[in-house]
A and B are shown apart, each in its own frame.
Chain A
Amino acid sequence: MDFNKELDARGLNCPLPILKTKKALGELAAGQVLKVVSTDAGSVKDMEAFAKQTGNELLASQDQGKEYVFFLKKK
């Protein structure tokens, strides 16, 4: 999937992946896509909840074993 910016959130624990995602989205323009890579299993549910509550669309959420990859489209 195409993206405009990638955020490496590997090794970070709750709530850091979400806080960094929020910050990274702030640097994008509306409609642009952010890719986030995380190793925190809790971020799968958290990212869904974040997208739902902030209105930024979660285009994809991929479980790649030890890593979780998300694509978020900025509102």
Chain B
Amino acid sequence: MSGKKLAIIATKGTLDMAYPPFILASTAAALDYEVQIFFTFYGLTLLRKDLSGVKISPLANPAMPMPVPMPVLVSALPGMESMATMMMKDKIKKKGVASIEDLRTACLESGVKFIGCEMTVDLFDFKREDFIEGIEYGGASTFFEFAGNTDICLFI
């Protein structure tokens, strides 16, 4: 252990926003940090056993590189989200970038602690059996118990 600690709050549930928490947490763990991620609101969906609902949205995302210029109204058509997700996943694979599942497993294997927001489970009527094993559930003060003594604390 380097003695350093990292706390991350993961609040987003889209494919692009799923990467930063898992990349940073797994890398910090490789650097001997003690790491906790608090998953809240849409971020909690990143802990589902089935991650097929984690998609990329071309809508309201003008920075997203497109193979051809895409008017906003076209991006809003049915099926565009699935298509963008498929294309992105294909690119991820081709470029040797890890999948979210792989990074999440790497986190768990290296001792990163996942905290699921209890309030979010209740708010969205989520079922605990839909989430992976090994998560601790808690609230804001559970997060602060660890976050209060960290070297780095990130809100993603």
Q: Chain A residues near B106: list those with CB within 8 A.
A: 19
How far, in whole Å, are A54 and B32 apart by their CA atoms in the complex? 7
A19 touching B30, Cβ below 8 Å: yes
Given contact pairs A54-B2, A54-B32, A15 touches B95 in the complex (Cβ within 8 A): no
Within 8 A of B (CB), among A15-43: 15-16, 18-19, 21-22, 39-40
Residues of B within 8 A of A (CB-CB), count: 13
11 example contacts (A-B, Cβ-Cβ < 8 A) are as follows A11-B96, A13-B97, A14-B23, A15-B30, A16-B98, A19-B30, A50-B31, A53-B2, A53-B32, A54-B2, A54-B31
The bracket for how many chain A residues form the interface is 10 to 19
Extra contacts besides A15-B26, A15-B27, A16-B97 (8): CB < 8 Å:
A11-B96, A12-B96, A13-B95, A13-B96, A13-B97, A14-B23, A39-B96, A54-B32
Residue of chain A at shortest CB distance from B106: A19
The dominant DSSP class at the B interface is loop
Asked if B31 and A16 make an inter-chain contact with CB atoms under 8 angstroms apart, the answer reads: no
Asked whether B31 lies within 8 Å of A53 as measured between CB atoms, the reply is yes
| A51-65 Cβ-contact flags toward B at 8 Å (1 or 0) | 001100000000000
Minimal Cβ-Cβ distance residue in A for B22: A15
Chain A residues with CB below 8 A from B110, complex form: 19, 22
Shortest B111–chain A CB gap in Å is 12
Interface contact A19-B97, CB-CB below 8 Å: no
| Shortest distance between the CB of A70 and any CB in chain B (Å) | 15
Residues of chain A contacted by B96 (CB below 8 angstroms):
11-13, 16, 39-40
Q: A15 contacts B31, CB within 8 Å?
A: no
